[in-house]
A and B are shown apart, each in its own frame.
Chain A
Amino acid sequence: MTTTECDNVIDSTQLDMKDILDRILLTAGDIILGKEQVLRLAITCVLARGHLLIEDLPGVGKTTLAHLLARLLGMQYQRIQFTSDLLPADIIGVSIYDRGQEAFHFHPGPIFSQLVLADEINRATPKAQSALLEAMEERQVTVEGETRKLPQPFFVIATQNPSYQIGTFPLPESQLDRFLMRVQIGYPDTASERRLLAGKERREMLESITPCMDMQQLVSIQNMVDEVFVSDALLDYCQALLEFSRTSPRFHHGLSPRAGLALLRNARAWALLEGRDKVLPEDIQSVLTATVGHRLHSTSDTGVNEGDQLAQHLLESVPIP
């Protein structure tokens, strides 16, 4: 396939895809008001085949966002409410003795689903958390010596309360790293809040949503993300960002190569969402905070949102080459 042909392929499906994506954004914008940026990031994450972590205070719409995504993408989904007494078996499933067949029979847990909503993930004990996180990384679970594949595609959208809230078990860095993106929703602006208060119950609205795409379309759009072109000039910028995080004394540790890959991946998906077939520095900048915010720590531990502040510092310090 020559370069020209390749361009054409992208161009022809682009209209179709653009249509779908616009529709998703429009519908989502009706439910979550005034949060277009967050919605775009969340969709970007899905397109980039990554797991999404939504972190914010209770009541700002985390669960609603998770539900919304599941419905819009037309995936079969399960929700797990994480509590402190949740056990790994509650997630993965258990083998139960079947008296009729005189054998153990495996009852798959809620994780055997295309989309898993892990609500308030940091309320559960580390043991239960790790059961989920293992599955996220491997895309398979091993129960009683038998390895079982999880369905394809497989997504986890997890929500969590800020770790300074009471009754939380903060996720360790190595596990946070498994989320391709972390977004924060924040309070709505005044106009949006007024519309929210005046409008219908969100839960009802969610019920009425019809999926905007089927599984086939999702997979093909995901494949198109891989086709988005990344130029040398852009790689220079990407590397400059990584290098800066590794040499600047403000950073406790630099960004890992995995973070670099994640950054590019998200930037590609973002560019596609913007209707481009190439990544621009703006795309990197748009996804940077969401991609690296949960992977960074400052040398002076200030606690709240330090990762996001560092990401901002990175953005403002590294010139585009």
Chain B
Amino acid sequence: MRVQDREPLSRSLLSALIILLVAAAVPHFFHLHLWITLFFLASVALRVASMVRPELLPGKLLLFLLAVAGLVNVTLNYPVLFSGETAIALMTSMVGLKLLEINTRRDLFIVVFIGYFLLATQFLFNQDMWMVGYVILLTAALTGVLLENSRHRPSGNPIKTYWKSLALLLQALPVMLVLFVFFPRLSGPIWSLDSPDISGITGLGDSITMGSISGLVLSPAVAFRVEFSGPKPAPPKRYWRGPILWDTDGRNWTRGKPLTNEPLVMKPNSPVIDYFITLEPSGRRWVMVLDLPKAVPEQAKVLGDFQVIRQKPIYDRIRYQASSWLFYNTGKITPEELKRGLQLPGNITQRMRHLVEEWKSVAANDLDVVNQALRHFRNEEFYYTLRPPLLSSNPVDQFMFESRRGFCEHFATSFTLLMRLAGIPSRVVTGYQGGEYNPLGDHLVVRQSDAHAWSEVWLPEAGWVRVDPTAAVAPERIERSFEFDTGLADGLLGAPIRFGNVHLGMVGNMLKQLRWGVDAVNASWHRWVLGYTEERQSRLMHMLGLDFLQGRRLGLAMVVFAAITVLLLGVAIWYKGRNRIDAVYADYLRFCSKLKHRGITRRDTEGPLDYLKRICRQRPDIKHGATQITQLYIKLRYSHSSGKNDQRSFHSMVRRFRP
């Protein structure tokens, strides 16, 4: 240990370190238990207080007890030991305590490295661009602390130090790029082994209960982004198909057993829409596609009711290509579909039967019945609202005849039920509708707030046809998306929803532009950085003609490459250093090593004349040559005449020297 390492830490460095460590830990606060956060903050507060009053600094015993307390705190709040979350909680607690222990410059090194690690763990929870920027800034700052700490005297210019450490980090950029491109990607959700925030994701479920979706619509989180290869479908045609719900008990709608039939489309008579979708992790198996899917990604398949699902739940952001028809005819109905499409729950009331009978009496065919129903929704006093009143045990009846306030799922489920009552096979489709076009990124952003539910009825001439009763009540819902700027959240119970105003004003437009810009950058980040998966890596390897480098072999190749690089760097540094100690000295060292083989070893504290004396004493026979060489060496190295000729003759003298 060097003397300086034991020097006490300067106050300003300590303050900087504390601030940076807290900043490094702050993002964890959002998912750690409150008690862990409080423990950490209390430790920090104690450290800060002890800067003013040093007697507050706990001794060894107290520190030990605090550590035990921290451990207990963690075990109480995290019953599962060996999980990522527990480890982070433990680390955060102990980092706080470690602050109480630092006194010398050496301690600072340790804490800075812990800080680096703490920052790295942020990526377990969040790999956003913002987080990366935050981590880079803090890493540079921590490096700055290291720089400052290794100075004899403080530079007194933190900004300069910070730039210097940024420059240092910049030098690591090529290494970072190489590692990013070539380091073997691990397939599978290694980061998400215990991804805690998947469960917190709001999104579509695989069942709906009337009144359960109203929270969802308020979430502006991105569900997925779409880039169209060709023309974009018009807003009213942007139905993104998700789970199809068949079974109901009158209140809940669920998917039930999967259908056994193959998906079948007759006479597709519309152009095909091609697009790429970047889907955010949902923790579910289904994949969003535009209604109605034609071609789906490789790892997914289309079920009989045109729902697209994957083998495994989606814990990572995925990107896939798909294509869809906007107009289609699914043709005949299978007996299974017919049976399940007409199932009725037990809570059908007389009022409902009457209503349906009324429709049927004036209708010539099934299509007319559907139109009658839609007309009913449009003409009667139905309102679209995000804050529907609570419904009791028979929600459909209550909704249809009493409250008449609801949103897509109320309309879709009620409509579907009434169609079944009229003998028309029907089902509820959930998914998303609409999406905001981002002109900067040239993509469509579909948010959780765009979640939607609609119906499909089977008509003999057309097959399964999409019917959206919500559109009959509130056509704006289909044509525009929600504007979160318009105070959506504080709408009163049952108040009709206001849709986005077209005229936003200059500030509003600028904000919108800004949001689009951010979204576009984010999309690129997801696509190019986070989306660089094992699959893409192997594709790149293929393009580079390095097909044989896959998985483990790629890892091995990386190790070999790194080893060779380090070796070459070492050789380069050695070579450069060799040139710097001048050639004369190098030759003299050669002279010494020749004598060493003859048993006359020069001590490295021995001057050339002393050495010569020893040589002459031990080997009088080589006195002449050794004296000549030594004299020339002294002349070349210690006096001010140093001719090139002398150097050359010195070199050859040493080479010819044979002790």
Contact = CB atoms under 8 A, between A and B. Distances in A.
A245 B270 CA distance: 88
A151 interface: no
B607 A280 contact: yes
A233 B585 contact: yes
B609 A282 contact: yes
B604 interface: yes
Given A247-B2, A247-B3, A320 B638 contact: no
Nearest to B642: A231
A319 B604 contact: yes
A19 B379 CA distance: 131
Residue picked from A7, A282, A317, most chain B C-beta under 10 Å: A282
Contact of B605 (A7, A247, A320): A320
A3 B610 contact: no
A196 to B, nearest CB: 29
Interface string A273-310: 00001111110010000000000000000000000000
A280 B640 contact: no
Contacts of A234: 638
A316 B606 CA distance: 9
Nearest to A271: B638
Interface in B618-652: 634, 637-641
Nearest to B4: A247
A282 B607 contact: yes
Contacts of B609: 280, 282
B531 interface: no
Contacts, number: 48
A231 B638 contact: yes
A94 interface: no
B608 interface: yes
Interface size classification for chain A = 20 to 34
Interface in B348-368: none
A3 B585 contact: no
B640 A282 contact: no
Interface in A66-125: none
Contacts of A278: 634, 638-640
A315 interface: yes
Interface in A212-253: 229, 231, 233-234, 247, 249
A233 B637 CA distance: 7
B637 A316 contact: no
Contacts of B606: 320
A279 B605 contact: no
Interface residues of B, number: 17
Contacts of A317: 605
Contacts of B581: 321
A280 B609 CA distance: 8
A229 B605 contact: no
B605 A249 contact: no
A229 B639 CA distance: 6
A231 B637 CA distance: 7
A285 B610 CA distance: 11
A150 interface: no
Given A231-B639, A233-B585, A317-B605, A280 B3 contact: no
Contacts of B608: 280-282
B607 A285 contact: yes
A321 B638 CA distance: 12
Contact of B638 (A7, A249, A279, A318): A279
A278 B635 CA distance: 9
Interface in B593-615: 604-610
A285 to B, nearest CB: 6
Interface in B45-91: none
B605 A233 contact: no
Contacts of B610: 282, 285
Contacts of A321: 581
A3 B640 CA distance: 9
B638 A233 contact: yes
Given A233-B585, A233-B637, A320 B2 contact: no
Residue picked from A3, A277, A320, most chain B C-beta under 10 Å: A320
Residue picked from B2, B609, B639, B641, most chain A C-beta under 10 Å: B639
Contacts of B639: 229, 231, 277-278
B640 A231 contact: yes
A157 B634 CA distance: 34
A237 B1 CA distance: 24
Nearest to A4: B641
A318 B605 CA distance: 6
A315 B605 contact: yes
Contacts of B641: 3, 7
Contacts of A279: 638
B605 A280 contact: no
Given A247-B3, A249-B3, A281 B607 contact: yes
A237 B278 CA distance: 66
A316 B610 CA distance: 14
B568 to A, nearest CB: 27
Contacts of B607: 280-282, 285, 320
Given A281-B608, A319-B604, 18 more contacts: A3-B641, A7-B641, A229-B638, A231-B640, A233-B637, A234-B638, A249-B3, A278-B634, A279-B638, A280-B608, A280-B609, A280-B634, A315-B605, A316-B605, A317-B605, A318-B605, A319-B605, A320-B604
- Ranked nearest first, the 7 interchain pairs of A and B with the lowest CB-CB distance are A319-B604, A281-B607, A282-B607, A278-B639, A231-B638, A278-B638, A233-B637
Interface of B: 2-3, 581, 585, 604-610, 634, 637-641
Interface of A: 3, 7, 229, 231, 233-234, 247, 249, 277-282, 285, 315-321
12 contacts: A233-B638, A234-B638, A247-B3, A277-B639, A280-B634, A282-B608, A282-B609, A282-B610, A285-B605, A317-B605, A318-B605, A320-B605
